């Protein structure tokens, strides 16, 4: 413990813990609360029943009312903590409720019935996860279809992106041909083009290609990422040219060289691009919004948007859908956080 | 211009003690060099004096005033960093002026001081350049200039020459020494190079593992090293060490039996041997430049040595020999020698130049009569 | 290639070999046809084709849309109208009062976007800088906290909007906390000023982490002994920040400011889901105007939308040019980089 305190207060050789250190920790803790808090609240809320969600002020944890099986009754009966006319408070199961009068029984002795005003009883609650929120969306709202659409677009687009970008990066890094630099500048310059300016005309192009309302209409325009080409090219430049020459001496075709030598050696960069691409495609919104107008083609993002726009939003389903939508990215983050943050930091230096 | 006093100064990081209770008095105007192997704590000690590190125990006093609690920004000292630490986005002029600006000095005064320092260090033509446009030596001088401009009470140098090439180092050594003579300010200089220490210091503080091994003038350290470590650290090439035993000792002399000689030596060493016990393991130290070849002209220990390698530089020669059962001996004689490698010669170790150290961990020297 | 590969890789490896074998023969034929140097065009071809079809061609077509009228999508069915679309957009009695404009929504969107961009970027960069400064100190769990601020950057804009929409509900947790503290609940997204504020807030929340990392990298590139030298030069903590940290961080700050502005001007996704542009048109920004005009209203006014996007693109081009000019100046004047 003393070592921890000493470490915490050892700032650049100073033994004292500055007031600035305490402020720093307070700031970071506040940041932690602010960054993770709302997400945690979303997750917790997604496990609450609609009744619990309607409560104000809301409870922190998901609670459901306890139910108990009483002899002579088919379904489990809700449990209440009731104040009886004689003043005592007991936990009783409710058999029926008519108007403001509830009929309660002792689960152990169900023959005796108590009539209690509904105001004199409080539900007995326990921690309960409303997992039905998650299971029902697949049945009621074809959530599975939206999930499939998102997965399809993400996986296929990522595969094509990796292939096309790798091929282009290979050409730009390992070959000398007239116009190479122009092509490279052309590709990089597209980074400067705001997507808004090509919304309308792209709609025309996609429409003419017959890809409107098709998942492919979302996939094809997105696969030629200039960032990907740049990334892969940078990495491929570090692959020694002698490897390629040796392979050529071994009568390998250029395609074989690309596929069997350069591509495997570029695995780290490909992995980074794959993660980026998965993120980009999973999170795409505006363009799919324009291209996909039939609800059975919606991606998760579009489905969420459509669902929340309705007049009476069924939040318990919406929250569950949102949690599922953010799950893949969160998993990627949890496992690769260190690499992503150091990668961005070092790229920022350039 | 100020004196410095360290009393019981120590530094701990958690459970590790880096500096063990150091006492030191540096009078006003002295050029003191902290020297020692890497990791000995010399830089840490310097930074504690500067205020960049906290003092865990003890007191640092400047001109009689305790400064432990005073921040580095307010101690009125100046430091020349090993990496120069010049501000890359400022011109040389701005680098020099920065410290004075922080003290709200009037523009006119700043200009005068900066120009003065620039002239002194031959930087006047470079004032508008950026550090990245300067050579290593020029950057060094800017770093020194930055210190001069502030008129500090004490100059602190943290291994300033270690990033320069050999020729430049020799030149800068002379410049810094000339600077000290000109300004007369107290200077504390840290280096791992004992040649720098020997040539520049008024007094040297030899440090090892956070402890002071010896404090003294260069020649004191050379002639009367207090222990085996200082003896081996000061002087180049390094002092030779031969193992042996005490054959007999009294208050005035010690008779030694070297392992390499077989029997007890004929001559005794003129050292105070009151603390020596018979058969005590000892180490004899003799500098290569003191060893003679052939017949002895003064009372000496003689023993045969087989030459492994000779380096003849013309003005002097180095003989790398083996004595006894494989102990190494380096001999440095003036002029040229007729010997060749493989030969066995007689080397003579004058007792007047011989040092004797206990073969213990501390290796304390037996003092001269 | 080693034989002892992880069994999980067997399937992709087999697939890979399959693709290789299938395409090897035709690719060899092509190679014989065009020769090794020119085969590069085959490799770069697919990427270029996609870019050509879905980026370069559309840019050209966009001009055509901007200068034509009518409601048809197909260009040949659209009558040439010259600058009419742009004139419609810019028809205003007073440019400072959107309600006097023919296309008042367009101008409202522009004002909103301008206000938003300045506010959001200013605040976000400030917070990113503070956070980077805090993260630059020697703290326990620095890597963890770096990730904490970066997490929201990874979330999709729709999810971000829904997370906060849920918090800001009338019966949401924020109002609950207020009620607990004795204040009365607020309709956060139903009042114009608060809706605008939350758009700014949520946008900062979702993107700050990215810029924090860039600034943090810049801070870490500053050698620590510069600060020690500044201490020896009697510099106060403020002067150390203003005369050493800030000038040396300036290139990163410029990058962050411009990147942030470019993104802020194009804000759409999270705001659209959070407020839908409302209440009224209080949080309608320029990209939403373009989307609405071109796709969401009953009559798709492609020409107007294209013209509006032209205006947007030109502004962004101007911004980028300003950035280039500023970074060049920054390099020459502020940071003292090596001129070689």
Q: Are B75 and B62 in contact (CB under 8 A)?
A: yes
SS3 A58: coil
pLDDT at A342: 65
Count of domains for chain B: 2
Pair type for strands B186-191 and B31-35: parallel
pLDDT at residue B14 greater than cutoff 90? no
Identify which of B98, B88, B131 has the alpha carbon closest to the alpha carbon of residue C335: B88
B186 and B330 assigned to the same domain: no
Give the mean model confidence (pLDDT) for residues A71-85.
Answer: 83
> Residue A3: is its pLDDT beyond 60?
no
**Contact C30/C42 with Cβ under 8 angstroms?**
yes
Tell whether B367 is covered by a domain: no
Same domain? B184 vs B157: yes
- Inspect the interface and report whether the beta carbons of B14 and A3 lie closer than 8 Å: yes
The predicted structure's pLDDT at residue A10: 42
Angle (CA) C46-C48-C52 rounded to 5° is 120
Q: Which two tokens stand for residue A125?
A: 């609650």
Note whether B18 and B186 are within 8 A (CB): no
> Is A142-309 a domain of CATH 1.10.3720.10?
yes
Lowest model confidence (mean pLDDT) among A81-95, A124-138, B59-73, C18-32? C18-32
Longest dimension (CA), chain A: 100
pLDDT value at residue C102: 80
CA distance readout (Å), A62 to A93, A308, A314: 21, 22, 17
Chain A partners (3+ C-beta pairs within 8 A): B, C
Is residue C251 predicted with pLDDT exceeding 50?
yes
Which chains lie within 8 Å of chain C at 3 or more CB pairs, if any?
A, B
Listed range (B335-339, C21-25, C39-43, C184-188) with the worst mean pLDDT: C21-25
pLDDT in tens, A190-227: 887 888 888 888 998 999 899 999 999 999 999 999 99
**What average pLDDT does range A87-100 have in this prediction?**
83
Strand partners, B115: none
Q: Are B58 and B173 contained in the same domain?
A: yes
Task: Provide the ipTM.
Answer: 0.81
- Does the CB of B104 have a partner CB in chain C at under 8 Å? no
The dihedrals phi and psi of A58, each to the nearest 5 degrees, come to -70, 150
Confidence (pLDDT) at A193? 83
Q: Would the CB atoms of A10 and B47 count as touching at under 8 Å?
A: no
Nearest CA in chain B to C331: B89
Following DSSP, what letter does each residue of C162-227 receive, concatenated?
HHHHHHTSTTSHHHHHHHHTTPPP--TTTSHHHHHHHHHHHHHHHHHHHHHHHHHHHHHTS-HHHH
Residues A254 and A167 sit within 8 Å (Cβ to Cβ): no
> What residues of chain B lie within 8 A of the CB of A14, using their CB?
54
> How many other CB atoms are found less than 10 A from the CB of residue B73?
20
Give every CB contact of residue C175 below 8 A, 6+ residues apart in sequence. Answer: A56, C169, C185, C186, C188
Contact call for residues A25 and A33 (beta carbons, < 8 A): no
3-state percent breakdown (helix, strand, coil) of chain B, nearest 5: 25, 35, 40
Q: Which residue of B has its CA nearest to C223?
A: B85
pLDDT value of position C334: 46
Instruction: Tell me the residues of chain A between 297 and 326 that have a Cβ less than 8 Å away from chain C.
Output: 301, 304-305, 308-309, 315, 318-319, 322, 325-326
- CA C4 to chain CA centroid, nearest Å: 45
Close Cβ partners of C113 (under 8 Å, ≥ 6 residues apart): C264, C265, C267, C285, C286
| Beta carbons of B77 and C230 less than 8 Å apart | no
Type and span of the H or E element at A12: none
Contact A7 B14 (CB under 8 A): yes
CB distance C231 to C240 below 8 Å:
yes
Q: Across chain A, what does the average pLDDT equal?
A: 84
- In chain C, % of residues over pLDDT 70: 94
Residue A31 to residue C23, Cβ atoms within 8 A: no
Among chain A residues, the shortest Cα distance to B48 is held by A13
The DSSP H or E segment spanning A305 is helix A300-309
Distance CA B227, CA B220 (A): 12
In DSSP terms, which residues pair with B25 in a beta bridge?
B5
Contacts of A212 (CB under 8 A, 6+ apart): A203, A206, A291, A293
**Any idea what DSSP says for residue C80?**
B
Does A191 contact C at CB distance below 8 Å? no
Check: CB of residue B131 under 8 Å from CB of residue B88. Answer: yes
Q: Is B287 on the interface with A (CB under 8 A)?
A: no
Q: What six digits make up the tokens of B63?
A: 């001109």
Average pLDDT over chain C, rounded to an integer: 85
Residue in B85, B133, B146 closest to C225 by CB:
B85
pLDDT at A91 over 70: yes
Question: What is the token pair recorded at B226?
Answer: 């207090």
Cβ contacts below 8 Å, chain A against chain B, sum to 14
On the question of pLDDT at A7 being above 70, the answer is no
Using CA atoms, how far apart are residues A199 and A217, in angstroms rounded to an integer?
A: 13
Residue A124 phi, psi (nearest 5): -90, 125
Q: Nearest-CA residue of chain C relative to B77?
A: C232
Confidence of residue A93 (pLDDT cuts 50, 70, 90): confident
Distance CA B307, CA B322 (A): 6
Q: Residues C55-76, buried b or exposed e (16+ Cβ, 10 A)?
A: bbbbeebbeebbbbbeeebeee
Give how far A73 is from chain C: nearest CA, Å.
Answer: 37
Cβ of A14 under 8 Å from any chain B Cβ?
A: yes
A:105-144 residues touching chain C, CB 8 A cutoff: none
Average pLDDT over residues A246-268: 87
Q: Look at B89 and C247 and tell me if their CB atoms are within 8 Å.
A: yes
For residue A346, what pLDDT band results from cuts at 50, 70 and 90? low
Q: Which of C232, C329, C336 to mutate to test the interface with B (most CBs of B within 10 A)?
A: C232
- In angstroms, the separation between the Cα of residue C93 and the nearest Cα of chain A is 27
Q: CA-CA distance, B265 to C143, in Å (whole number)?
A: 67
> Does B95 share its domain with B9?
yes
In DSSP notation, C217-258 reads: HHHHTS-HHHHHHHHHTT--HHHHIIIIIHHHHHHHHHHHHH
Provide the 10 A C-beta neighbour count for residue A89.
12
Same-domain status, B182 and B285:
no
Determine which of C12, C19, C40, C178 to mutate to test the interface with A (most A C-beta atoms within 10 Å).
C40
Shared domain for B190 and B278, answered yes or no, is no
How far is the alpha carbon of B60 from chain C, nearest alpha carbon, in Å? 17
**Smallest CA–CA separation between A16 and chain B, in Å?**
9
| 3-state secondary structure at position A327 | helix
How sure is the predictor about C340, in pLDDT bands with cuts at 50, 70 and 90?
very low
- pLDDT band of residue A251 (cuts 50, 70, 90) is confident
B133: Cβ–Cβ under 8 A, 6 or more apart, which residues? C339
pLDDT for A4 beyond 60: no
- Give dist(CA B231, CA B285) in Å, integer: 8
Q: Per residue in B230-288, pLDDT tens?
A: 999 999 899 999 998 888 888 888 888 888 887 777 778 888 888 888 888 899 999 99
Contact B77 C232 (CB under 8 A): yes
Tell me what pLDDT residue C22 has: 77
pLDDT at A9: 41
Tell me if A299 sits within 8 A of A324, measured CB to CB. no
Q: Which of B180, B205, B229 is the endpoint of a domain?
A: B229
Are C100 and C94 spatial neighbours (Cβ–Cβ below 8 Å)? yes
Question: In terms of C-beta density within 10 A (0-12 exposed, 13-18 middle, 19 or more buried), how is residue B316 classed?
Answer: middle
- Give me the mean pLDDT over the C112-136 stretch: 94
Indicate the residue of C31, C205, C221 with minimum beta-carbon distance to A253. C31
| C-beta of residue C140 within 8 angstroms of C-beta of residue A7 | yes
**Strand-pair partners of B320:** B309, B330
In a domain, B126, yes or no: yes
Beta pairing partners, B34: B190, B205
What values do phi and psi take at B109, rounded to 5? -65, -40
Here the CATH number for the domain that contains residue B254 is 2.40.50.140
Q: Cα separation of C305 and C65, whole Å?
A: 9
Q: 3-state class of B51 per DSSP?
A: coil
B-interface mutation test, from C226, C228, C234, most B Cβ less than 10 A away: C234
Please state, as a whole number, how many other Cβ atoms lie within 10 Å of the Cβ of residue C118. 12
DSSP string, B87-124: -TTS-HHHHHHHHHHHTT--HHHHHHHHHHHHHHTT-G
Write down the domain spans for chain C.
Answer: 7-84, 96-335
- How confident is the model over C207-220, as pLDDT tens digits? 999 999 999 999 99
Percent of residues, chain C, with pLDDT higher than 90: 41
The residues that bridge with C55 in the sheet, in sequence order, are none
d(CA A181, CA A187): 10
Label residue C7 by pLDDT band (50, 70, 90).
low
The shortest CB-CB distance from C233 to any of B71, B98, B133 is to: B98
Contacts of B20 (CB under 8 A, 6+ apart): B10, B209, B210, B211
* Among the listed residues C71, C87, C91, the one whose alpha carbon sits nearest the alpha carbon of residue C79: C71
Window A:200-219, CB contacts with B under 8 Å = none
Q: Which CATH number fits domain C96-335: 3.40.720.10, 3.30.479.10, 1.10.3720.10, 3.20.20.300?
A: 1.10.3720.10
Query: Coil, strand, or helix at residue B13?
Result: strand
Q: How far apart are CA A180 and CA A172, in angstroms?
A: 6
What number of C-beta contacts closer than 8 Å exist between B and C?
71
Contact A4/B at CB under 8 A: no
Q: Are residues B197 and B247 in the same domain?
A: no
Distance CA C286, CA A224 (A): 26
Contact C225 B83 (CB under 8 A): yes
CB atoms within 10 A of CB C242: 12
Please tell me the predicted confidence (pLDDT) of residue C115.
93
Q: Which residues, 6 or more positions from A266, have their beta carbon under 8 angstroms from its beta carbon?
A: A166, A232, A235, A236, A239
Q: What is the pLDDT of residue A8?
A: 45
Helix (H, G, I), strand (E, B) or coil at A339: helix
Is residue B351 within 8 Å of residue B300, measured between CB atoms?
yes
Residues of B in contact with A10 (CB under 8 A): 13-14
SS3 A143: helix
How far apart, in Å, do the first and last CA atoms of chain A sit? 41
Q: Measure the CA–CA gap between B77 and B83, rounded to whole angstroms.
A: 18
């Amino acid at each position: 413990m003393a070592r921890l305190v000493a470490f915490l207060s050892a700032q650049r050789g100073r033994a004292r813990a500055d007031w600035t250190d305490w402020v720093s920790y307070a700031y970071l803790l506040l940041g932690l609360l602010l960054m993770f808090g709302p997400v945690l609240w979303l997750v917790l809320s997604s496990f609450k029943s609609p009744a619990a969600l309607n409560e104000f002020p809301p409870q922190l944890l998901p609670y459901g009312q306890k139910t108990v099986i009483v002899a002579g009754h088919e379904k489990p009966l809700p449990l209440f903590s009731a104040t009886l006319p004689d003043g005592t408070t007991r936990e009783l199961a409710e058999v029926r409720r008519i108007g403001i009068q509830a009929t309660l029984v002792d689960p152990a002795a169900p023959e005796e019935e108590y009539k209690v005003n509904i105001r004199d009883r409080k539900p007995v609650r326990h921690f309960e996860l409303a997992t039905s929120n998650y299971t029902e969306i697949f049945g009621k709202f074809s959530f599975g279809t939206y999930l499939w659409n998102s997965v399809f677009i993400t996986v296929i687009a990522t595969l094509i992106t990796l292939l096309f970008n790798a091929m282009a990066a290979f050409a730009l890094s390992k070959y000398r041909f007239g116009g190479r630099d122009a092509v490279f500048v052309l590709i990089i310059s597209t980074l400067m083009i705001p997507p808004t300016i090509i919304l309308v005309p792209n709609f025309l192009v996609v429409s003419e290609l017959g890809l409107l309302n098709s998942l492919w209409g979302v996939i094809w325009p997105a696969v030629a990422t200039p960032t990907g080409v740049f990334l892969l090219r940078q990495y491929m430049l570090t692959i020694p040219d002698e490897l390629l020459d040796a392979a050529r001496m071994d009568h390998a075709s250029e395609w074989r060289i690309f596929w069997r030598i350069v591509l495997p050696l570029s695995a780290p960069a490909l992995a980074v691009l794959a993660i980026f691409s998965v993120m980009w495609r999973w999170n795409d919104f505006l363009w799919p919004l324009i291209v996909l107008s039939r609800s059975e083609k919606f991606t998760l993002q579009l489905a969420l948007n459509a669902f929340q726009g309705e007049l009476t939003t069924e939040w318990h389903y919406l929250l569950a859908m949102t949690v599922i939508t953010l799950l893949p990215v969160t998993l990627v983050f949890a496992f690769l956080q260190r690499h992503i943050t150091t990668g961005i930091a070092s790229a920022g230096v350039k | 211009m100020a004196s410095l006093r360290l009393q019981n100064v120590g530094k701990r990081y958690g459970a590790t003690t880096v500096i063990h209770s150091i006492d030191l008095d540096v009078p006003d105007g002295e050029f003191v060099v902290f020297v020692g192997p890497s990791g000995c704590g010399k830089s840490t000690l310097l930074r504690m004096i500067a205020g960049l590190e906290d003092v865990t125990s003890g007191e640092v006093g400047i001109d009689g005033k305790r400064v432990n609690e005073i921040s580095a920004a307010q101690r009125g000292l100046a430091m020349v960093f090993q990496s120069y630490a010049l501000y890359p986005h400022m011109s040389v002029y701005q680098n020099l002026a920065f410290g004075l600006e922080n003290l709200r000095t009037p523009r006119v005064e700043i200009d005068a001081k900066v120009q003065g320092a620039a002239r002194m260090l031959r930087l006047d033509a470079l004032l508008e350049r950026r550090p990245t446009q300067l050579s290593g030596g020029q950057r060094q001088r800017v770093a020194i200039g930055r210190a001069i401009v502030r008129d500090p009470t004490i100059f602190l140098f943290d291994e300033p020459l270690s990033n320069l090439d050999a020729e430049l180092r020799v030149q800068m050594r002379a410049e810094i020494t000339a600077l000290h003579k000109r300004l007369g300010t107290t200077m504390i200089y840290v280096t791992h190079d004992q040649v720098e220490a020997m040539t520049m210091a008024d007094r040297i503080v030899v440090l090892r593992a956070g402890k002071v091994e010896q404090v003294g003038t260069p020649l004191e350290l050379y002639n009367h090293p207090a222990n085996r470590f200082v003896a081996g650290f000061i002087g180049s090439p390094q002092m030779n060490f031969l193992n042996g035993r005490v054959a007999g000792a009294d208050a005035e002399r010690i008779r030694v039996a070297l392992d390499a000689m077989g029997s007890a030596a004929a001559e005794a060493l003129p050292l105070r041997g009151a603390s020596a016990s018979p058969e005590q393991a000892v180490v004899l130290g003799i500098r290569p430049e003191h060893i003679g070849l052939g017949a002895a002209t003064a009372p000496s220990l003689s023993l045969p040595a087989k030459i492994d390698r000779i380096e003849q530089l013309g003005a002097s020669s180095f003989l790398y020999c083996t004595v006894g059962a494989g102990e190494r001996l380096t001999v440095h004689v003036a002029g040229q020698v007729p010997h060749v490698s493989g030969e066995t010669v007689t080397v003579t170790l004058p007792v007047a130049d011989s040092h004797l150290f206990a073969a213990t961990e501390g290796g304390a020297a037996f003092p001269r009569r | 290639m080693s034989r002892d590969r992880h069994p999980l890789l067997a399937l992709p490896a087999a697939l890979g070999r399959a693709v290789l074998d299938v395409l090897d023969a035709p690719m060899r034929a092509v190679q014989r046809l065009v020769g090794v140097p020119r085969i590069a065009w085959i490799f770069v071809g697919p990427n270029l084709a996609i870019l050509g079809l879905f980026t370069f061609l559309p840019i050209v077509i966009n001009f055509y849309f901007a200068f034509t009228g009518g409601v048809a999508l197909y260009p040949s069915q659209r009558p040439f109208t010259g600058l009419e679309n742009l004139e419609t957009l810019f028809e205003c009695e007073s440019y400072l009062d959107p309600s006097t404009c023919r296309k008042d929504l367009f101008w409202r969107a522009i004002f909103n976007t301008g206000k938003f961009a300045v506010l959001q970027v200013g605040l976000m960069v400030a917070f990113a800088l503070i956070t980077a400064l805090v993260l630059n100190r020697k703290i326990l769990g620095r890597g963890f906290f770096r990730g904490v601020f970066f997490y929201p950057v990874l979330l999709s804009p729709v999810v971000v909007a829904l997370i906060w929409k849920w918090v800001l509900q009338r019966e949401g947790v924020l109002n609950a906390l207020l009620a607990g503290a004795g204040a009365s609940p607020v309709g956060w997204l139903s009042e114009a000023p608060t809706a605008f504020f939350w758009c700014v807030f949520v946008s900062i929340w979702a993107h700050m982490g990215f810029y924090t990392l860039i600034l943090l990298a810049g801070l870490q590139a500053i050698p620590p002994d510069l600060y020690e030298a500044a201490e020896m030069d009697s510099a106060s903590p403020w002067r150390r920040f203003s005369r050493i940290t800030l000038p040396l961080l300036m290139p990163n700050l410029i990058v962050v400011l411009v990147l942030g502005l470019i993104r802020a001007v194009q804000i759409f996704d999270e705001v659209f889901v959070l407020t839908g542009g409302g209440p009224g048109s209080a949080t309608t920004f320029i990209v939403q105007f373009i989307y609405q005009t071109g796709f969401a209203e009953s009559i798709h006014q492609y020409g107007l939308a294209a013209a509006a996007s032209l205006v947007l693109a030109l502004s962004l081009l101007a911004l980028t040019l300003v950035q280039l000019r500023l970074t060049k100046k920054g390099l020459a004047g502020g940071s003292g980089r090596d001129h070689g």
